[in-house]
Structure 1
Amino acid sequence: MSEPHFDTVFARSDEDLSAAQALRYDVFVDELGGDGDLVEHDTRLEKDRFDRFARHLLLLDRARGGTISQQVVGVYRLLDNEGAARAGGFYSEAEFNIDALTVPGLRLLELGRSCLHKDYRGGMAMYHLWSTLAGYVSQEKFDILFGTASFRGTDIECLLKPLMLLQKNHLCPVGIRPIARHPRAVLSENTGDDMDRKTAMTQMPSLIKAYLRLGGGVGDGAHVDHKFNTTDVCLVLDVNKTSDKIRRLYTKEHAL
């Protein structure tokens, strides 16, 4: 693969949105075995009802050439208060009670459907997405970033160590803490001091680790999503308490 030439843009057309949904299909359906009521298997597009109310941030590799669908290698869906009001709520509300967040005056931005093309993981691709996202967050003056992040699989026993680590060490403050709805993963009341942190962290998805490095935390409990073959936690980042880290991201002084 040639040296990538990254560029980030917001989707502005149906073609742009379809390009994002095509990559999401590759990742969430083909790789993870997920499905959904609005997924189009014939056109290979992973859709849902929130797409038309959100902004879609696309990471392009211009070196790939061809159409925008061929250039899209990363996506993020961004849903703010106004979009959620038109959509009848945030996506995360199906899995988590977020009443602690939806209070008057708080500018919320829900981050969802984040994924990278398999050939671009583990490098600088996610940094380019986050750098643009950080600039957007600062420009629009959002107070809270949040959204679900997924562990692959629905076997809680296999995921118990990283889930317990999150519950023990990384719960967000009660005042902004989401709570998992039913069906809810039973994480164990004993989070024990003998937890193998190293093993737990090796099982932690990179997106979750990135949030934690920025000072984010998780809600109470986890949601088992059998339709998407994932176990989800709700991540929350208080922008006002991590503004310096956010600023370093979009000024390219700090990489995740």
Structure 2
Amino acid sequence: MQIDAGRFTVRLAQSEEDIAAAQRLRYKVFVEEMGAKPTPEDAALRRERDRFDPYFEHLILIDNEAPTDDPLERVAGVYRLMTGERAREGIGFYGATEYDLTKLEQLDRKVVELGRSCVGAPYRGGAAMHLLWTGLGEFVTSRGIEIMFGTASFHGADPAPLAHALSHLHHNHLAPEDLRVRARPEHFVPMDALPPEQVDRKLAARQIPALIKAYLRLGGFVGEGAYVDREFNTVDVCVLMDTARMVARYRDFYGRESSSAR
């Protein structure tokens, strides 16, 4: 797959150099901006990588007009994608290190794990994320994917200041039982620290990262419990999207709109 959109191209990584460029962008965002802790080897190379990378497919957004001849500096946005088939054949899902994914692993439906999503600072607020999502949509459609999931992060490794946001997610966006994965018991952080009536919805909205909000607008849910990732300096939640439920949600919404317009 490949999408050409003027200045940008979206495609799957085709070489080790492509993957290295994705890892360079991830280093800039997750290490230099967000405070993740790299190994000495990764710091020397300025690449954020892990043992799962060889098993993922890497969706990259390339800036064809980047003011550099260094191919490692031309990637403007990334996603990494692990289908259920590849997970079973290889190393498994990355998210299984944080969540019990048994419910997803036992589904008779096609699944993809989304991870390491980021856009370089100069490209935020523009078309970059939209183009990445267009590429993701083409990937999901072409592979017949029905369930998308992955961990999404709040900056900072202390869940206490995020009580309003986490409680709001738990009370309003908890996944249905058949998809409700749960943080592993040894790392489980309750997300319902506050009862619904004590949640400041405006504060919660300010605290929830834009990417998580976007997933929720598409009809996404969250799993039960959060996970503190001290190496990445984040509090993680597991976000899940069921394409069948998403279609039903938008059909209902537009049906109501049509009825009210008559």
TM-score (norm 1): 0.89
The answer as to whether partners of 1:78 and 1:109 remain within 8 angstroms in 2 is yes
In the alignment, does 2:30 pair up with 1:28? Answer: yes
In the alignment, does 2:109 pair up with 1:81? Answer: no
Aligned length: 243
Distance 1:14 1:32 in 2: 25
Question: Post-superposition shift, 1:88?
Answer: 2.7
Task: Give the corresponding residue for 1:47.
Answer: 49
Match for 2:215: what amino acid? Y
In the alignment, does 2:122 pair up with 1:97? Answer: no
SS at 1:168 equivalent: helix
- Residues 76-117 of structure 1 show CA distances to partners (whole Å, capped at 9, x for unaligned) of 000011221233310000000111111152211000010110
In the alignment, does 2:147 pair up with 1:144? Answer: yes
Change (3 A) 1:204 1:43: same
The answer as to whether partners of 2:99 and 2:181 remain within 8 angstroms in 1 is yes
In the alignment, does 2:224 pair up with 1:228? Answer: no
SS at 2:164 equivalent: helix
Distance 1:200 1:104 in 2: 32
Question: Post-superposition shift, 1:37?
Answer: 5.8
1:14 to 13, 16, 24: 16
Note the 1:196-211 alignment, pairs <5 A: 196-211=200-215
SS at 2:81 equivalent: strand
Distance 1:25 1:171 in 2: 31
Distance 1:80 1:60 in 2: 23
Question: Post-superposition shift, 1:188?
Answer: 3.9
Q: Percent identity?
A: 42
Distance 1:53 1:24 in 2: 17
Distance 2:39 2:89 in 1: 20
Higher helix share: 2
Task: Give the corresponding residue for 1:251.
Answer: none
Change (3 A) 1:79 1:199: same
The answer as to whether partners of 2:111 and 2:146 remain within 8 angstroms in 1 is yes
Change (3 A) 1:61 1:27: same
2:135 to 132, 140, 143: 132
Distance 1:98 1:236 in 2: 11
Distance 2:81 2:28 in 1: 20
Q: Larger deviation: 95-104 or 215-224?
A: 95-104
The answer as to whether partners of 2:27 and 2:46 remain within 8 angstroms in 1 is yes
The answer as to whether partners of 1:109 and 1:146 remain within 8 angstroms in 2 is yes
Distance 1:241 1:68 in 2: 40
1:184 to 177, 181, 188: 188
Question: Post-superposition shift, 1:68?
Answer: 3.1
The answer as to whether partners of 1:39 and 1:46 remain within 8 angstroms in 2 is no
Change (3 A) 1:130 1:157: same
Q: Larger deviation: 111-120 or 28-37?
A: 28-37
Note the 1:216-255 alignment, pairs <5 A: 216-243=220-247
Distance 1:172 1:24 in 2: 29
SS at 1:200 equivalent: helix
Distance 1:104 1:187 in 2: 25
Distance 2:203 2:96 in 1: 31
Task: Give the corresponding residue for 1:213.
Answer: 217
The answer as to whether partners of 2:12 and 2:57 remain within 8 angstroms in 1 is yes
Change (3 A) 1:40 1:245: farther
Match for 2:124: what amino acid? R
Q: Larger deviation: 26-35 or 90-99?
A: 26-35
Which structure has the larger Rg? Answer: 2
